[in-house]
């Protein structure tokens, strides 16, 4: 373990005004995204899409601190032969890699999942470091029961998932790779914001207990949590200020100050909603950690729709990516205003 490298990398990932581009969609997931624009998903089309994003300036140089990649992408070269990893480092960002193999049904607990991928992880991390990855990501999935079912998530589900997250984190640090720990409480459902708070609080407290027990150095980690938000089908959904208030309160109750930064997932929020929530937190609170973004769809949806797989739309798609990256970069500084969406588009 190179502790200095871990801390240096973690600090770079949460640099002021910058956030992380989550471009780690599995082949199956990106195929569904491409289906929405009637584009065939092939190694070359996936490469072309991601290369376009990585060559976008000033988004990559000014607003993106790191890029999470899928195994295929980490190994790919651009059309001109340049490794995609080099495009990222040349832009001043940190290359990262998704290392879990997905959420699978949790034995003995219907409707809940456990994230797999620990088998062989030590060897994979060693190889990923040699290729150029300096951080990794592992996502645990925590579902909230519907129609007032308080039995989900079960303590069993949370315990097994945070244990796996901590094992992954320890292996990452052994390889001098910063682990992003991502315990995502899913926003799908009819639950209230109060129920989201309750589940998230228990999950985060369980997570940090496991990280401590397994000897993970918190200064060399990044937390990627959900925001405290009402379920998508809730009868009455909380507004921006309430989401910001309850999210910061929950984090203050659960996250040690030793953590270098918190990079939120968007979790299915709309582009502007995810930006507005981040802005409200940064403008309204002075927190002990930088609060920034690690968005996938909330950064990529607009440019993907604009691009539609056509070369003629390349520059327009890059402009759309520049815009969303800039809006979120400003929100990470607490300097975003809603009217900027039209003024700077």
Q: Is the peptide bond before 58 cis (omega within 30 degrees of 0)?
A: yes
For residue 240 the two structure tokens come to 């921006």
Q: Which long-range contacts (CB under 8 A, 24 or more apart) does 204-210 make?
A: 204/250, 204/251, 204/254, 204/255, 205/254, 206/158, 206/159, 206/162, 207/162, 207/165, 207/166, 207/181, 207/183, 208/254, 208/255, 208/256, 209/162, 210/162, 210/163, 210/165, 210/166
Catalytic residue among 51, 182, 184, 210: 182
Would you call the peptide bond into 153 cis, given omega within 30 degrees of 0 as the criterion?
A: yes
- Tokens representing 59 are 């988004």
Task: Please enumerate in sequence order all residues whose Cβ is within 8 A of that of 142, keeping only pairs 6 or more positions apart, or say none.
Answer: 153, 157, 158, 161, 183, 184, 185, 186, 199, 203
Catalytic residue among 18, 98, 137, 224: 224
Residue 258 and residue 218 in contact, taking contact as beta carbons nearer than 8 Å: yes
Per the DSSP assignment, residues forming a β-bridge with 184 are 141
User: Which of 177, 194, 176 is closest to 185 using CA atoms?
Assistant: 194
- Hey, how many other C-beta atoms are within 10 angstroms of the C-beta on 275? 27
Task: Please give the structure tokens belonging to residue 317.
Answer: 């798609």
Say whether 343 is catalytic.
Answer: no
- Assign 257 to helix, strand or coil: coil
Sign of CA pseudo-dihedral 141, 216, 19, 273: positive
Catalytic site includes residue 235: no
Residues designated as active site: 182, 224
């Amino acid at each position: 373990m190179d502790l200095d490298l871990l801390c240096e990398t973690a600090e770079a990932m949460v640099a002021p005004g910058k956030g992380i581009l989550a471009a780690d969609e599995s082949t199956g997931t990106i195929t569904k995204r491409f289906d929405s624009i009637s584009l065939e998903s092939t190694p070359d089309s996936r490469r072309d899409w991601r290369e376009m994003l990585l060559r976008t300036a000033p988004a990559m140089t000014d607003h993106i601190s790191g890029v999470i990649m899928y195994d295929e992408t980490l190994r790919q070269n651009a059309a001109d032969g340049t490794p995609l990893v080099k495009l990222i480092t040349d832009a001043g960002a940190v290359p990262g890699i998704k290392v879990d193999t997905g959420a699978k049904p949790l034995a003995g607990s219907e409707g809940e999942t456990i994230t797999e991928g620990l088998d062989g992880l030590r060897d994979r991390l060693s190889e990923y470091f040699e290729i150029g990855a300096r951080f990794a990501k592992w996502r645990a999935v925590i579902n909230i029961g519907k129609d007032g079912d308080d039995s989900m998530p079960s303590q069993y589900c949370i315990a097994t998932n945070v244990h796996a997250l901590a094992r992954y984190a320890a292996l990452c640090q052994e390889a001098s790779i910063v682990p992003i720990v991502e315990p995502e409480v899913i926003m799908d459902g009819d639950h209230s914001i109060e129920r989201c708070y309750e589940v998230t609080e228990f999950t985060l407290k369980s997570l940090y207990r496991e990280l401590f027990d397994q000897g993970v150095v918190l200064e060399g980690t990044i937390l990627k949590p959900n925001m405290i938000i009402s379920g998508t089908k809730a009868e009455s959904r909380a507004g921006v200020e309430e989401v910001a208030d309850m999210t910061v309160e929950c984090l203050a109750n659960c996250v040690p100050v030793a953590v270098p930064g918190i990079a939120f997932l968007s979790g299915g929020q709309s582009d502007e909603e995810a930006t507005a929530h981040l802005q409200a937190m940064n403008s309204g609170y002075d927190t002990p950690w930088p609060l920034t973004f690690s968005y996938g769809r909330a950064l990529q949806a607009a440019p993907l729709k604009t691009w539609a797989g056509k070369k003629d739309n390349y520059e327009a798609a890059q402009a759309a990516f520049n815009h969303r990256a800039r809006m979120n970069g400003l929100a990470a500084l607490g300097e975003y205003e809603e009217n900027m969406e039209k003024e700077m588009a």
